[in-house]
Amino acid sequence: MTHESTAVGLASAYSNATTASGDWWRDAVIYQVYVRSFADSDGDGIGDLRGVRSRLPHLARLGVDAVWLTPFYVSPQADGGYDVADYRAVDPLFGDLADADELVRAAHELGLRVIVDVVPNHTSEQHPWFRAALAGEQGARERYLFRRGRGADGSLPPNDWESIFGGPAWTRVADGEWYLHLFAPEQPDLDWTHPEVTAEFDSVLRFWLDLGVDGFRIDVAHGMVKADGLPDIGRGAQATLIGAEPLPFFDQDGVHEIHRSWRRLLDSYEGARIGVAEAWAPSSERLALYVRPDELHQAFNFRFLNCPWDPAAMRTVIDESLSATTAVGAPTTWVLSNHDVVRHVTRYGGGPRGLARARAAAMLMLSLPGSAYLYQGEELGLPEVSDLPPASRQDPAFRRGRRQQIPVLAGAPAPGPGPAAPGIIAPRPGEPPTQPGAGIGNGPEADAGPAPEQPLAPQAHAPTQPQAGASTGPAPEAQGQTGAGPAPEPQLPPQANDPTRPETGSGTGPQAGGPGAGTRPQAATGCGPAPEAQGQTGPEAEAGIGPQAERGAGAGPDLLTAPEAEGQDGLRDGCRVPIPWAGAEPPYGFGPAGSWLPQPPEWAGLSVAAQTGDPHSTLELYRAALELRRAMPGLGAPGAGPSPDPSGMRWLPSPDGVLLFTRPGFACTLNTRPEPVELPAPGRPVLSSAPVETDGRTVRLPPDSCTWWAF
């Protein structure tokens, strides 16, 4: 017989024990809402809080446990809101404080918890503290990292650190001092050794907890503390090193005392309020330090997001992730997409094959012990929009240019190439890369890099205006069936600058990470993507950047043009295109008018309305998977039922290319091969990403598919 790909009506809400308890977060499914692109209530083409509130029933029906909202605070929007000017107020672009309060109340009435972003690594340059620092107010600069420059006249940056977005991580102000910004110049880094910084963020957290939020996603949670003396790194392409090896500006031991103090604050409130770290660390063991019993509750696991479509690599990442978090008594998190990385339908090859793999990967993720993060639109099978016109792009890294003038001291080592990011597949010689965005931005706007930094004077930044219109290039592949025959294997570009980078940070830092995991490689603070935890520089990093640093034309003897030090390529807009709700034409119910980024004309068939009720649609697959996850006691929570493994999970022998594991009363099979595979049926099929043929004794698994079994 052939088992249909989805099933409905199988579970009642909140059937897992941990969901109803104070440990709800241990197996929660959390849905990331990128506020600008979710739903627009007032017709300005930009999503807002009232729009989010109007679409909460979709999330309740989908079956998620919580909603994570990207920043909606007052901001010049230099980095999509990850440059915060007022942490206690809602930007008029998104509504007002009353809208935030009503959204939280409405979510709670539907059984949904609400997590909001907090951006502690940096502020906006328009924050009152930084404006006071530039105006010369006594002591104001001590809240930030201002330093004198190097060289006889102080005209060289204080050290060789590079911005995640490209160019030096330092900008000089009118009186000759330099300030540190690991992301955009509009995002000056705070000095967390200053007591006023600590006190201010304690107050900010209490403000939103008092309003009723259930927790915080901490942007660039690994970045608030820098190594004493701000030492040189001695090499370029630093964004590629994030999450791959120790760096003096990320994952310093001092961040853990900050997180311990925040855990004490969270625990002082009723209702199990949680902290989620967007953190990049060189190993699973270092990442697990962020979720020790007295620190944060969760940390995004970008290794899973960055993992290639390879069963051995997947098993290694799963085993190492579970081992590291189990050792400290914390749950593991899983994520496949976020607002800082190329959508996983496209990362897995695009078209019918990319969709088949994306559906299978989602089912694998939702069957693993711990908590899962979903990115808005992935439940619709949305691909990356790779043909956005340059005039529409708003990612700050896109405008930073490809070639930055990097001042270096005479005799200092030239920036060198970083290690290749793990898990990256390079194209065969002579083949063009198929990654969305590869080669995009090589026109005049990208090649003409910005001139050397000039002293900065305070200036206001007007919010970016929305741009309506439809995409004119080739549209993303429409949703296809997962059982299609094999197609030519897609080749991904080199990932020294990988589109799978997670939750770019400040805005998402080095998120896959995320959970992405948007994270900036997940350059993580709410300010812009941070490099991936796996050492990738982010989806924006351009493929094909050479290893040699080149002398810039017309540059002085102490200026080095270092293409590999440019950071992200600024292509994050492709995953941020507003999602389709209903209708045959853009904006597909997103709002009364257009959308700030153009939506492809082919998205009509991918809308919520078009997929609802279709048992083969990706939307109904997600709904059924989340329903089963709650209904089956062996899914979700770690440690459910007897098992030799603390996670309640055990691997079983399986054919090459196939993963097979069990949890109490449950089994999961993943076929990563491009052809069907036969094996003994591990039980009764209850859900599959593609139609499965079984006679009860043996099963024929479709290519690139995942199946859940009950026994």
> Sorting pLDDT into bands at 50, 70 and 90, what band is 35?
very high
**Predicted local distance difference test score (pLDDT) of residue 413:** 36
pLDDT in tens, 116-145: 999 999 999 999 999 999 999 999 999 999
Q: Does residue 628 have a pLDDT over 50?
A: yes
Name the least confident of 162-176, 190-204, 335-349, 569-583.
Answer: 569-583
User: Would you call 293 exposed, middle or buried from its count of C-beta atoms within 10 A (0-12, 13-18, 19+)?
Assistant: exposed
Sheet with 215-218, strands from edge to edge, namely: 298-299, 274-277, 215-218, 113-118, 66-69, 29-33, 371-375, 333-335
For residue 40, what is the DSSP state?
-
Assign 645 a pLDDT band (cuts: 50, 70, 90).
Answer: low
CA–CA separation, 554 and 317 (whole Å): 47
Which residue pairs from 324-327 have beta carbons closer than 8 angstroms and sit at least 24 positions apart in sequence?
324/283, 324/284, 324/285, 324/287, 324/288, 325/288, 325/291, 325/370, 326/638, 326/646, 326/647, 327/285, 327/288
pLDDT at 165: 87
What whole-number distance in Å separates Cα of residue 484 and Cα of residue 466? 39
Q: Round the average pLDDT of the chain to a whole number and report it.
A: 78
pLDDT at 463 over 80: no
Q: What is the mean pLDDT of residues 296-308?
A: 93
d(CA 117, CA 72): 9
C-alpha span between 662 and 652 (Å, rounded):
7
**Catalytic member of 83, 91, 219, 569:** 219
User: What are 704's two structure tokens?
Assistant: 């690139």
Q: What's 156's DSSP letter?
A: B
Nearest-angstrom CA–CA distance, 181 and 190: 9
Across-strand partners of 687?
Answer: 708
Compute CA 98 distance to the chain's CA centroid, rounded to the nearest angstrom: 28
Residue 479 confidence (pLDDT): 35
The predicted model gives 562-571 an average pLDDT of 47
- Rounded CA separation 357/350 (Å): 9
Contacts of 283 by beta carbon, 8 Å cutoff, 6+ apart: 324
Q: Is the peptide bond before 587 cis (omega within 30 degrees of 0)?
A: yes
> In this structure, are residues 523 and 510 in contact, taking their beta carbons and an 8 Å threshold?
yes
CA–CA separation, 239 and 254 (whole Å): 21
419: which DSSP letter? P
Element (H, E) at 54: helix 49-54
CB atoms within 10 A of CB 230: 15
Whether the CB-CB separation of 55 and 582 falls below 8 Å is answered with no
Please give the structure tokens belonging to residue 681.
Answer: 């049926």
pLDDT band at 468; cut points 50, 70, 90: very low
What tokens appear for 428 in the block? 């065969």
Task: Give the integer Cα–Cα distance in Å for 237 and 547.
Answer: 9
Confidence class of residue 640 from pLDDT cuts 50, 70 and 90? Answer: very low
Average pLDDT over residues 25-53: 97
**What are the CA-CA distances from residue 56 to residues 106, 108, 281 (Å)?**
8, 10, 34
The reply to whether 278 belongs to the active site is yes
Who contacts 217 (Cβ-Cβ below 8 Å, separation ≥6)?
Answer: 68, 115, 116, 117, 118, 276, 278
pLDDT in tens, 268-291: 999 899 999 999 898 889 999 999
Residue with tokens 């009642």: 12
The pLDDT score that the predictor gives to residue 395 is 77
Per-residue pLDDT, 589:
97
- Per-residue model confidence (pLDDT) at position 643: 41
pLDDT of residue 569: 55
- Give the Cα separation of 257 and 377 in Å (integer): 36
Query: Measured between alpha carbons, how far is residue 124 from residues 78, 81, 187, 317 in Å?
Result: 8, 9, 5, 36
Question: What are 2-28's pLDDT values in tens digits?
Answer: 555 544 333 333 334 444 457 899 999
Residue 219 CA to residue 279 CA, distance in Å, equals: 8
Separation between Cα atoms, residue 552 and residue 500, nearest integer Å: 30
Question: Distance of alpha carbon 268 from its chain centroid, rounded?
Answer: 29
Residue 172 has pLDDT above 70, yes or no: yes
pLDDT level of residue 532 (50, 70, 90 thresholds):
very low
Give CA–CA dist 607/600, Å, rounded: 12
- Mean pLDDT for 335-358 is 96
**pLDDT, tens only, 223-268:** 999 999 999 999 988 888 888 889 999 999 999 999 999 999 999 9
Are 666 and 709 within 8 A, CB to CB? Answer: yes
pLDDT of residue 570: 59
Q: Which neighbouring-strand residues pair with 217?
A: 117, 276
Compute CA distances 264 → 196, 206, 260, whole Å. 19, 12, 6
Q: Is residue 421 scored above 80 in pLDDT?
A: no
- Residue identified by tokens 């209904």 is 631
- φ, ψ at 631 (rounded to 5°): -80, -35
Tens of pLDDT, residue by residue over 486-503, are 333 333 332 233 333 333
Pick the catalytic residue: 186, 278, 395, 503?
A: 278
Distance of CA 582 to the CA centre of its chain: 26
At residue 682, what is the residue type?
Answer: P
pLDDT number for residue 397: 65
Rg (CA), the chain: 24
Q: What is the pLDDT of residue 149?
A: 97
Cα separation, 552 vs 415, whole angstroms: 14
Decide if 566 is catalytic. no
Residue 647 pLDDT: 60
What are the helix (H) ranges across 88-238?
Answer: 97-109, 128-135, 195-211
What residues contact residue 466 under an 8 Å CB cut-off, 6+ apart?
Answer: 44, 45, 46, 594, 595, 596
Provide the β-strand partners of residue 666: 663, 710
Q: What is the DSSP letter of 663?
A: E
